[in-house]
Amino acid sequence: MRLLVAAIGRLKAGPEHELAERYRKRAEQVGRRIGFRDVEIIEIRESRAQEVSRRMTEESIALANIIPEKSAIIILDERGESLDSATLASRLARWRDDGRPAVAFVIGGDDGLAASLRDRASLRLAFGAATWPHQLVRTMLLEQLYRAMTIMAGHPYHRA
């Protein structure tokens, strides 16, 4: 099963990019041993539309177009569920065991996601009630994916 992180906007070179890439590689390395093929980052250019609703729609369509059919879709949303790491790991394992081709984690743009994509989500995931910059959300997500892989693999990285 593939893990996709689909995000509006680019993560520029710098410490955030380096840390995100470090966790992506770690998650991919551990994940290969337990049935996860890739951890892939797909960056979508921000819409240049003037109207907020049009920007949201254009960005959501671009995101939806890269998500494989029958994938579990997880959107990052400050109004979503705050899961502990073990619960996230068990959901990933369940989707893998159900034969899903991919799990797509979606990070919307500044204006959020259109209802058409939000309504397709298998899970709305929050990293607390705070609003986080996109660079940190991506890095935190990749760290949590690495942690989930280590939990499933029985690796000592997660000690709770």
Tokens describing residue 25: 């590689």
Has residue 160 got a pLDDT over 60? no
Task: Choose among 51, 44, 41, 114: nearest CA to 77.
Answer: 114
pTM: 0.93
- The fold of the 2-153 domain, in CATH, is Alpha/beta knot (3.40.1280)
pLDDT in tens, 48-65: 999 999 999 999 999 999
Q: Cα dihedral angle (151, 101, 59, 116), rounded to 10 degrees?
A: -100
Average pLDDT over residues 135-143: 94
Pairing of the two strands 2-8 and 72-81: unpaired
Count Cβ atoms below 10 Å from residue 10 Cβ, excluding itself.
14
Task: Choose among 10, 3, 1, 2: nearest CA to 45.
Answer: 10
Alpha-helix runs per DSSP H in 14-133:
15-32, 52-65, 85-97, 115-118
Which pLDDT score, from 0 to 100, does residue 25 have?
A: 97
pLDDT in tens, 70-124: 999 999 998 899 999 999 999 999 999 999 999 999 999 989 999 999 999 999 9
Which pLDDT score, from 0 to 100, does residue 123 have?
A: 96
Q: Under a CB-based contact definition with an 8 Å cutoff, are residues 3 and 105 in contact?
A: yes
Count Cβ atoms below 10 Å from residue 86 Cβ, excluding itself.
14
Confidence of residue 158 (pLDDT cuts 50, 70, 90): low
